Amino acid sequence: MAENKRIIVIGGSAAGPKAASKARRMDENAEITIYQKASDLSMASCGYPYYIGGFFDDRDQLLCSPAGVVRDSKFFWNAKKITTKVNTEVTAIDRKNKRIEYTDMVTGEKSTAEYDKLIVATGATPRKPPVPGIELDGVTTLQSLPDADYLRKVRDEGKIKKAVVIGGGLIGIETCEALHLAGIEITLIELLPQLLTFLDRQMAKLVEKYVQSKANVILENGVAAFIGENGKLTAVKLQNGTEIPCELAVVAIGVSPNNKLAKEAGLIIGKTGGIVVDTFMQTIDPDIYAVGDCIEIPNLITQNMVHAPYGDLANLQGRVAGENAILGNGVIFPGTIQTGICKVFDYGVGATGLSEQNARKAGISNIETVVNASLDKPGFMQGKLLVTKLVVDKSKGAILGAQVLGPGDVSKQVAIWAMAIKGKLTINDMVNADLPYAPPYSLAIDHSIATAHIMQNKLNGYFTGISAEQLKEKLDKKKPLVLLDFRNPDEYEQMRLGIGEKLIPLGQLRKRLEEMPQDKNVEIICWCKISLRGYEAALILQANGYKNVKVLEGGIMAWPYGREK
């Protein structure tokens, strides 16, 4: 073995440079080299949609350190004493002789390099539909910096008027906003019945309803072909035969782990397609680590292996691998609860832990959920709406997951629930959480704590909730219901569901109980704007002998379907 430890990193986007930088901090004398197929290093790929959308114009900001220095080969050598070989493709890993084979993509020259420890950070590759016309000019993905450059050029030139975005996930939604800001008419296509599959159906429906105000949304339909003339895209043909004229199509149907090198080297590939690693980020080969979008990791709630291609996780994994490659296996990355957030035009949409549907798929059946709609801070401080769906284990009060959306401070709410899940807090812990309060930042009872209060009330049997989905199902089946809106007349005139409800302002309910049905077992659904008054009305009705009273969770603000006003 060489006197100085030789560390080779394959991949120069996020996880790779982080691993190399951490290795350098642990050992000033190690020989560290990054091999990068692309021409750029340390690209802030999550920033691509915002560069395209014009949130900033200096492309170099996608490549800069926090101090504003471009992280190119010169930077890595001068600041970190790390050698970088860009435009260089690693073509094989020879585990027996502990070396890699690589090709200079500019000169075509082939060579080898030996390592003591190897860190694989080959990332992920975009999925593409196997349909005719995929090679047409005007069809692109948004995975690489050249992709971002192409779409930014589209924005700057202003020639394209219509575009189709294929895929209603994070990248698809963010791309919609970027192109919408360029004045392009957008059609969003999603094969599944909902956008953003990490959300439950009601929450996704709220997102869909909002996105439809900015773009045409088509669900449960896929691409059959890309149609063109003279090599250029002119339309997208859907599986139902519809043709959508457009000059641009962005394919954003997800990514797959780039496992080719690892597979050819005999490393174990998991069911998700990711390289199998332990908590030290070590593969079955003790001298090879793997990090980032090319690996699979455990979900800490279900213990199922998942592919979680998030930039923050890639950096955390890189830090662990870099230290362990130098000092031996002493630090770990335990797994993920899959926390994520995206900007959807003027909404934030985020989630952590398990959705209700994913919890049930994982075999967790003893579940309770609530939906809470309220402001993120007082109205006199220009508070904005938040809608949260909380999922818990009913028997233990353990928090399984939370989904949050709206124009309010979604990031704060998701962060609170993420730490609650990671810290194994229960609902009874959260109802008295000691969070910072001042009117510019929060309500006196923070939205997250209020959500916990609603859940505690539900678990304790103080009220029975009904979700918008459940109510819609009853309406569709024409179930006999008494529908009551407890807002004031002026509110009712401005906005209402219009599904057959009767308006009774809350302050008048006790005086108007004679208007209630004589049958005390009739099913009554109560609501208001956010269902706080609906809950208080339900308590009054229950105190007067009504036995089947439910509160529409989240009220009108969480209703994802059409309404009269």
- Say if residues 131 and 23 touch (Cβ distance below 8 Å): no
SS3 content of the chain, % helix, strand, coil (to 5): 30, 25, 40
Residue whose structure tokens are 């332990």: 278
Q: How far apart are the first and last CA of the chain?
A: 75
- Say if residues 512 and 547 touch (Cβ distance below 8 Å): no
- pLDDT < 70 regions, the chain: 1-2
Q: Which amino acid, 382?
A: Q
Q: Determine the Cα–Cα distance for residues 94 and 111; give it in Å rounded to an integer.
A: 13
pLDDT recorded at residue 1: 44
Q: Is 472 exposed, middle or buried (0-12, 13-18, 19+ CB in 10 A)?
A: middle
Q: Is 524 exposed, middle or buried (0-12, 13-18, 19+ CB in 10 A)?
A: buried
Q: Determine the Cα–Cα distance for residues 262 and 283; give it in Å rounded to an integer.
A: 10
Q: Which uninterrupted H or E stretch holds 484?
A: strand 482-485
Q: How many residues does this entry show for the chain?
A: 565
pLDDT recorded at residue 3: 79
Nearest one of 37, 63, 35 to 48, comparing CA atoms: 63
DSSP secondary structure letter of residue 10: E
Residues 172-184: tens digit of each pLDDT: 999 999 999 999 9
Residues 28-43: tens digit of each pLDDT: 999 999 999 999 999 9
Distances (CA, A) of 38 to 141, 202, 408, 536: 16, 41, 38, 61
Which domains, and CATH codes, for the chain? 6-124+256-327 (3.50.50.60), 139-253 (3.50.50.60), 340-459 (3.50.50.60), 465-558 (3.40.250.10)
Q: Longest C-alpha distance within the chain, in Å?
A: 91
Nearest one of 365, 386, 387, 368 to 377, comparing CA atoms: 386
Residues 93-145: tens digit of each pLDDT: 999 999 999 999 999 999 999 999 999 999 999 999 999 999 999 999 999 99
Classify residue 254 as left (phi > 0), alpha (psi -120 to 50) or beta: left
